[in-house]
Amino acid sequence: MRRAIKYLFICLCLAPLLFGVIYSLGYSLGLAGLLSDGFTWDYWIGLINSGNLMRSTIYTIGLGACSLIIAVMAALVVSWKSGRYGVDHRSSISKSKAEVLILLPLLFAPVTAAFCWYQILSPGGFIARASFHLGLIHETSEFPRLVNDDLGIGIVICHVFLILPVFSYLFTATAHKHRLHRLYLQSNTLGASSWYFFKKVYTPMLLQKNMRVLWLYLIFLLGTYEVPLLLGGSRSQTFSVFIADKLTRFNLGDIPSGYCMAIWYTVLITVMTALYLRWQKSILW
């Protein structure tokens, strides 16, 4: 039975993945495709010289890291508050209305969330219009650019909106599972302040227990498509937007560049994952 499952895993998961990687590599080196003229490094050299490889790498990792850090920090606060540390002595997970509300964003598909945030944050959006009617700005165009901007502020906001509920629930459940409330009461009895407990025990413990999930979410964020497509600027493109752009534009000669980026993305994720596993192993030992 176990052997059958392994075969199935190889056939259904591993082989198609490797097939795709090898095919992409072949395409990026001019070995595949109807218009290929044989082996060449030209597409790789062109991609590197254009600066797009470096730009997309920095932009994508930067956006992913910012979104993750902000979401984690906010989720720690939400879980701390919902656990009612320092408020009363209830150790159960709070079932308050606020907790239900914070899970609502899980109902949004990324593309819907991106559209909503566009409507909220754009200079013609709800906040800009409200600011105009309140006399805070003289024209809606004076509203600061939060979507389609170079820094990707709208993308980060939308990502945080989408992943905050997951982390909040995860941290709350982890804290509950590891009985952190009891630990909090003990440390409190011994004279530690709430802030000290939050900083020295609560945060490190939750991060350590959920490091693998956080890592997976970072990888998920590096690969998102709809949100950067709708809310991103034109100057820098994330990996996914760049790849889709090259694979679907009018120049068939651009397709290999898209595959080059896809291969680079795969290598980057693989190296990052290997480093992460090595780091985890070193912690365990």
Partner 1 sequence: MASPYIRLLAILLLLPVVSLSCGSEVAQSPSENVPADWSTIATQAQGSTVHMMMWQGDRLINKYMQDYVTPRLSELYGIELIVTDGQGNQVVNRLMAELEANRKTSDLDIVWINGETFYQLRQIDALYGPFVQKLPHADLIDLNNPFISMDFQQAIDGYECPWGNVQMIMIYDSLQTSDLPQDMTEWSRWVQDNPGRFTWSNDFTGMTLLKSWLMSLADDPSVFYGEFSEDLYTTYSKQLWARIENMRPYLWNEGRSFPASLAQLHQLYVNGEVDMTMSNNDSEVDNKISQGVFPTTSRAYVPAMGTIQNSHYLGIPRLSDNKVGALQVINFLLSPEAQYEKSQSAVWGDGTVLDRDRLSPDWQAKWTGLAQRSHAPPREEISKRALQEPAPEYMIRLFEDFRKRIIEQ
Give contact residues for partner 1 (rule: CB under 8 A): 6-7, 10-11, 14-15, 18-19, 22-23, 26, 31-36, 50-51, 118, 122-125, 140-141, 145, 148-150, 229-230, 233-235, 247-252
Angle CA 235–240–242, to nearest 5: 40
Dihedral (C-alpha) 115, 117, 123, 128: value to the nearest 10 degrees?
Answer: 130
Q: Which residues are CB-neighbours of 58 under 8 A, at least 6 positions away?
A: none
Answer whether 147's CB lies under 8 Å from 58's CB: no
Rounded least distance, CB 270 to partner 1, Å: 17
Tokens 């600061």 sit on residue: 144
Q: Which residue number, 51 or 135, has a Cβ lying nearer to partner 1?
A: 51
Q: How far is the CB of 142 from partner 1 (least distance, A)?
A: 10
The H or E element spanning position 185 is: helix 180-189
Q: 91 to each of 2, 80, 199, 233, 271, how far by Cα in Å?
A: 41, 12, 19, 45, 41
Please provide the size of the chain in residues.
285
Q: Residue 104 and residue 92: Cα distance in Å, rounded?
A: 21
Total H helices, total E strands in the chain: 15, 0
Question: With respect to partner 1, which residue has the nearer C-beta, 101 or 136?
Answer: 136
Q: Select 177 or 235, whichever has its Cβ closest to partner 1.
A: 235
Query: What is the closest distance, in whole angstroms, from the C-beta atom of residue 127 to partner 1 in the complex?
Result: 13
Question: To the nearest whole angstrom, how small is the minimum distance from the Cβ of residue 210 to partner 1?
Answer: 32
Residues 227, 216: Cα–Cα separation, whole Å: 18
Q: What is the DSSP letter of 86?
A: T
Nearer Cβ to partner 1 (10/267): 10
- Please report how close the Cβ of residue 123 comes to partner 1 at its closest, in angstroms: 6
Choose between 230 and 261: whose C-beta lies nearer to partner 1. Answer: 230
Cβ proximity to partner 1: between 22 and 103 the closer is: 22
Minimum distance of partner 1 from residue 145's CB (angstroms): 6
From start to end of the chain, where are the E strands? none
Q: Which is nearer to partner 1, 215 or 254 (CB)?
A: 254
Least Å from the CB of residue 129 to partner 1: 9
